[in-house]
């Protein structure tokens, strides 16, 4: 599993969110805010986003980590550290 | 031979535009096969055939706006001869005197020729009044409500002449007519859906005497079990808590079948299976409740897979007609939106609606101690014509009990 650049990670997130909420301006959302509430994404769609990211980036997201994944900053940080851990 | 008519896909549907035919005359059709696509307020629906046979004639045209019940096609049943059907169809096309003659001929033939099914000479028994296809098409294009049309033929049969006279007699005030004539899709489909939902909810509130019950369920056992399960699963195979609610509801309906079915023609008619409608809100507004078939027989994994298939399609308006017609009871799960409990309006002609609210940590008494527990409110809205409080209470109690033994779900 190769490491992705921060840009690639952000684009993958954007694409995954775009599939769920095509009309959302996800890039303009406060990176520290709970994007589910802002973009009206429910638990089913949140899971779909994680599944898509998992397929694209080869990262898994344990349920215990969900709390960290509800902000865009948290999501990017988690993916980066997971990829780093897999390499190291 | 049977008429394949526009199905009523939900209490709030009155009409749809035929977008595309997926079969042509001569094609074999089987139960469940998609034969057409129609555009409704809820999106483009794949219409499935519900009986096997062979397509004889496509009556409706692509692009036509048709009311529920309108004849879309004629299907030859298995074992029926095309010659007999063509003869029937040929007689069918005649003017009113011709139709009367065919009926008389069929009536006299019924005894000496048992090969001809009794009643086959009469125009489709699913129609309210006999009407020739040409007259029907003319009436629909003119936006005439066939229910208001009086025919001059035997048994009130309607001919082209009757339709022409009705069109001439109509004064511009016929709002139902002008709405149909206004053209196919209205510019704002969200507005159409809102109106359709409003009409169904209004009808339900007006005609259905609702009673409401509520119970509080301790979800600790359920959620602990789910956490354990999901810890061993990758994201793609995770189970959402709503699958527990769906399965518990399905099993409870097995034990309380009085809530699984329909109130039609003044009495309760049980559903043929347990097909739970799942309320899905669409982005931009609107609500659909496509059914998951045989919920009581599906594993949680299978239920999750059904939801994963169904919800995205429902959100973007791509459903199958059987998903919209077959629901026997409905679940509306509003937990994600933070509401504690749901007091719903039943979707006619169903007789019950289950609502689940958000699961939240609240104080609960366990063995004389007050402990924080994840509690979920489960509510029932039920049709008082079909059931009494005792039945409703038994149903909710059963759901609560099942949710607290998740390994058995």
Q: What residue ranges do the domains of chain A occupy?
A: 6-87
DSSP characters for B98-161? HHHHHHHHHHHHTTT-TTSPTTTTSS-TTSSS-B-HHHHHHHHHTT--GGGPPPSSGGG-B-HH
B126 & B273 share domain = no
pLDDT of residue B122: 33
Q: Is the per-residue pLDDT at B105 higher than 70?
A: no
How close B303 gets to chain A, by Cα (Å)? 13
B98 & B184 share domain = yes
User: Average model confidence (pLDDT) for chain B?
Assistant: 81
How close A54 gets to chain B, by Cα (Å)? 8
pLDDT of residue A13: 93
The complex's ipTM works out to: 0.91
Q: What is the CATH number of the domain that holds B319?
A: 3.30.559.10
Whether B12 and B18 have beta carbons less than 8 Å apart is answered as: no
DSSP characters for B278-333? E-EEPTTS-EE-PEETTGGGS-HHHHHHHHHHHHHHHHTTEEEHHHHH--SEEEEE
B269 & B204 share domain = yes
Strand B369-383 relative to strand B210-218, pairing: antiparallel
Boundaries of domain holding B116: 2-188
SS3 B384: coil
Give the tens place of pLDDT for each residue, B265-314: 999 999 999 999 999 987 767 788 999 999 999 999 999 999 999 999 99
Is the whole-model pTM more than 0.95?
no
B250 & B317 share domain = yes
B167 & B205 share domain = no
Contact A54 B235 (CB under 8 A): yes
Whether B375 and B218 have beta carbons less than 8 Å apart is answered as: yes
Cα atoms in the 13 Å half-sphere on the side-chain side of B364: 14
Strand B276-278 relative to strand B267-270, pairing: unpaired
- What is chain B's Cα-based Rg? 25
B170 & B282 share domain = no
Who's near B397: CB < 8 A, 6+ residues apart? B215
Mean pLDDT throughout B241-253? Answer: 98
Q: What is the CATH number of the domain that holds B77?
A: 2.40.50.100
Whether B39 and B17 have beta carbons less than 8 Å apart is answered as: yes
B300 & B229 share domain = yes
Mean pLDDT throughout B231-240? Answer: 95
Which of B188, B205, B223 is the endpoint of a domain?
B188
B162 & B285 share domain = no
How close B367 gets to chain A, by Cα (Å)? 29
Whether A7 has its CB under 8 Å from any CB of chain B: the answer is no
The domain total for chain B is: 2
Chain A from 28 to 67: CB within 8 A of any B CB: 40, 42-44, 47-48, 50-51, 54-55, 60-64
Higher model confidence: residue B352 or residue A30? B352
Who's near B358: CB < 8 A, 6+ residues apart? B334, B335, B336, B337, B338, B339, B340, B376
Q: Give the residue on B whose Cα is nearest the Cα of A43.
A: B336
CA distance B295 to B105: 49
H/E segment holding residue B84? helix B82-92
Give the tens place of pLDDT for each residue, B322-358: 898 899 999 999 877 777 777 788 988 999 999 999 9
Contact A64 B238 (CB under 8 A): no
A23, A43, A61 member nearest B235 (Cβ) = A61
CATH code of the domain occupying A6-87: 1.10.1200.10
How close B336 gets to chain A, by Cα (Å)? 6
b/e burial code for range A29-62 (CB count within 10 A of at least 16 → b):
beeeeebbebbebbebbbbbbbbbbbebbebebe
B240, B283, B337 member nearest A44 (Cβ) = B240
Give the tens place of pLDDT for each residue, B119-167: 333 333 334 566 776 677 777 767 676 666 667 666 667 777 777 777 6
């Amino acid at each position: 599993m190769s490491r992705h650049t921060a840009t690639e990670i952000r684009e993958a997130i954007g694409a995954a969110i775009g599939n769920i909420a095509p009309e959302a301006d996800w890039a303009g959302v406060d990176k520290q805010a709970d994007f589910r509430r802002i973009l009206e994404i429910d638990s089913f769609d949140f899971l779909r986003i994680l599944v898509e990211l998992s397929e694209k980036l080869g990262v898994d997201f344990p349920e215990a980590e969900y709390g960290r994944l509800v902000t865009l900053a948290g999501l990017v940080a988690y993916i980066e550290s997971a990829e780093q851990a897999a390499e190291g | 031979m049977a008429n394949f008519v526009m199905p009523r896909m939900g209490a709030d549907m009155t009409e749809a535009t035929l977008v595309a035919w997926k079969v042509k005359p001569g094609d074999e059709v089987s139960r469940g096969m998609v034969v057409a696509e129609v555009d409704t307020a809820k999106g483009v629906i794949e219409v499935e055939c519900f009986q096997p046979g062979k397509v004889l004639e496509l009556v409706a045209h692509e692009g036509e706006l048709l009311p529920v019940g309108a004849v879309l096609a004629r299907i030859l049943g298995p074992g029926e001869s095309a010659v007999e059907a063509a003869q029937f169809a040929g007689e069918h096309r005649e003017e009113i005197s011709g139709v009367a003659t065919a009926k008389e001929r069929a009536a006299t033939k019924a005894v000496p020729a048992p090969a001809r099914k009794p009643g086959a000479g009469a125009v489709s028994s699913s129609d309210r009044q006999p009407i020739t296809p040409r007259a029907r098409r003319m009436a629909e294009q003119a936006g005439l409500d066939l229910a208001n049309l009086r025919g001059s033929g035997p048994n009130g049969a309607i001919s082209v002449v009757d339709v022409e006279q009705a069109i001439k007699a109509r004064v511009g005030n016929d709002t139902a007519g002008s709405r149909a004539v206004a053209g196919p899709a209205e510019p704002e489909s969200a507005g159409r859906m809102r109106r359709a939902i409003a009409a169904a909810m209004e009808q339900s509130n007006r005609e259905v005497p609702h009673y409401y019950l509520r119970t509080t369920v301790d979800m600790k056992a359920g959620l602990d079990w789910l956490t354990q399960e999901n810890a061993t699963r990758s994201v793609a195979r995770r189970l959402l808590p709503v699958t527990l609610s769906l399965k518990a509801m399905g099993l409870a309906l097995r034990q309380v079948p009085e809530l699984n079915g329909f109130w039609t023609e003044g009495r309760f008619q049980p559903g043929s299976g347990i097909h739970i409608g799942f309320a899905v809100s669409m982005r931009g507004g609107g609500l659909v409740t496509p059914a998951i078939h045989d919920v009581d027989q599906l594993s949680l994994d299978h239920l999750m897979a059904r939801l994963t298939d169904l919800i995205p399609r429902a959100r973007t308006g791509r459903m199958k007609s059987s998903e919209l017609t077959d629901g026997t009871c409905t679940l509306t799960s509003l937990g994600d939106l933070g509401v504690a409990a749901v007091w719903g309006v039943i979707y006619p002609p169903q007789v019950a609606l289950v609502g689940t609210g958000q699961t939240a940590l609240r104080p609960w008494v366990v063995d004389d101690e007050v402990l924080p527990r994840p509690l979920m409110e489960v509510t029932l809205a039920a049709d008082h014509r079909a059931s009494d409080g005792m039945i409703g209470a038994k149903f909710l109690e059963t759901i609560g009990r099942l949710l607290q033994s998740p390994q058995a779900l």
